[in-house]
Amino acid sequence: MQVIKYAFQQHGDDRGMLVALEEYKDIPFEIKRVYYMYDTKKNVHRGFHAHKSLEQILICIHGSCKVLLDNGTEKKIVSLEKPYEGLYIANNMWREMYDFSEDAVLMVLASEYYKEEDYIRDYNEFLRMVGVEK
């Protein structure tokens, strides 16, 4: 299973750092939605779903967290701890986010508007969808 983690270009000078993200250039899809999680309580795990068609890029713009990716046959854990790192998550990928630092702000760039019908929240249904019988 391939994990696609971007290192975005950092524009730094003696004032500090800046990252700019443009759709189709730095981000491989049209950005239709941006959302972010913050004040995540200790020991909380979020996510627990896959998407039928949505693609996303996760950026921990402050603090750190971990993301478990699961394609049905293989699992990978990715740490996000730099504001210039972006984790690409394709469709048909189960994800769980956890180990949020107290100051974590996890921003998500999404290729589609919010649509509950695009979610797969049942793990066995996810396994069936990716062709792993259950």
Q: How far apart are CA 20 and CA 115, in angstroms?
A: 27
Q: Does 46 bind ligand TYD (CB under 6 A)?
A: yes
Q: In angstroms, what is the minimal distance from the CB of 68 to ligand TYD?
A: 13
The alpha carbon dihedral of 11, 86, 21, 82 has a sign of: negative
HSE, side-chain direction, 13 A CA sphere, residue 31: 15
Please count the residues of this chain forming the interface with ligand TYD, following the rule CB under 6 A. Answer: 6
**Any idea how long the chain is?**
134
Q: Is 11 considered catalytic here?
A: no
Find the binder of ligand TYD among 6, 8, 28, 33 (CB under 6 A). Answer: 33
User: Quick one: 26 or 118, whose CB is closer to ligand TYD?
Assistant: 118
Residue type, 19: V
Smallest distance from the beta carbon of 79 to ligand TYD, in angstroms? 18
Cα–Cα distance measured from residue 22 to residue 88, given in angstroms and rounded to the nearest whole number: 15
**Binds ligand TYD (CB under 6 A): choice among 28, 47, 63, 83:** 47
